[in-house]
């Protein structure tokens, strides 16, 4: 290994991402790794920041396909275009629509709870 490179376990320790998640990010094309002569994954030092960014985007509600779509534009300012803001705006709108739907679902459930919580007068002793 070259100076600064790390194996998957160290990357996991440094980022808090599980080894399984890191492998998933690699399979999805979100994260690259080299291979040692023995075939083990070896990550460059910038992989820490990349994993942290991936996790931030996941926490923001993006799925791996959406992340793959916008990640190059985020990590390379020279290829940023208005598309990045548009695409992130679309993801935000999708999330807000999901929140709205969940709010309506919660309200409907509240109505059911209210209906079943009322005890008719003739059943009270």
pLDDT for the residue numbered 121: 67
* 12 and 39 share one domain: yes
* 17 and 73 share one domain: yes
**Position 123 confidence tier, pLDDT thresholds 50, 70, 90:** low
**Position 6 confidence tier, pLDDT thresholds 50, 70, 90:** very high
pLDDT for the residue numbered 41: 87
Reduced to 3 states (helix: H, G, I; strand: E, B; else coil), residue 43 is: strand
**Position 1 confidence tier, pLDDT thresholds 50, 70, 90:** low
* 52 and 102 share one domain: no
Give me the CATH number covering residue 23.
Answer: 1.10.1660.10
Q: State how many domains the chain has.
A: 2
| Contact (CB, 8 A) for 22 and 31 | yes
pLDDT for the residue numbered 77: 85
* 30 and 63 share one domain: yes
* 3 and 40 share one domain: yes
* 73 and 108 share one domain: no
7 within a domain of the structure (yes/no):
yes
124 within a domain of the structure (yes/no):
no
**CA 121 to CA 103: how far, in whole Å?**
32
pLDDT for the residue numbered 64: 93
pLDDT for the residue numbered 37: 82
Structural domain that includes position 89: 81-118
* 9 and 36 share one domain: yes
pLDDT tens sequence across 77-122: 888 888 888 989 999 999 999 999 999 999 999 999 998 987 666 6
Tokens for 28?
């999805």
pLDDT tens sequence across 15-46: 999 999 999 999 999 999 988 888 888 999 99
Q: DSSP character for 6? A: B
Reduced to 3 states (helix: H, G, I; strand: E, B; else coil), residue 57 is: helix
pLDDT for the residue numbered 52: 97
| Contact (CB, 8 A) for 64 and 28 | yes
125 within a domain of the structure (yes/no):
no
Tokens for 30?
């979100």
* 3 and 48 share one domain: yes
**CA 106 to CA 124: how far, in whole Å?**
29
* 103 and 46 share one domain: no
């Amino acid at each position: 290994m070259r100076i600064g490179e790390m194996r998957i376990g160290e990357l996991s320790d440094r980022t808090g991402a599980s080894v399984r998640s890191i492998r998933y990010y690699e399979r999805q094309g979100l994260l690259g790794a080299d291979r040692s002569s023995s075939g083990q994954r070896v990550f460059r030092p910038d992989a820490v920041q990349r994993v942290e960014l991936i996790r931030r985007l996941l926490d923001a509600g993006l799925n791996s396909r959406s992340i793959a779509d916008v990640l190059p534009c985020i990590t390379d300012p020279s290829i940023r275009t208005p598309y990045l803001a548009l695409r992130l705006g679309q993801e935000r709108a999708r999330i807000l629509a999901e929140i709205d739907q969940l709010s309506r679902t919660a309200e409907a459930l509240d109505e059911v709870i209210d209906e079943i919580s009322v005890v008719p007068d003739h059943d009270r002793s």
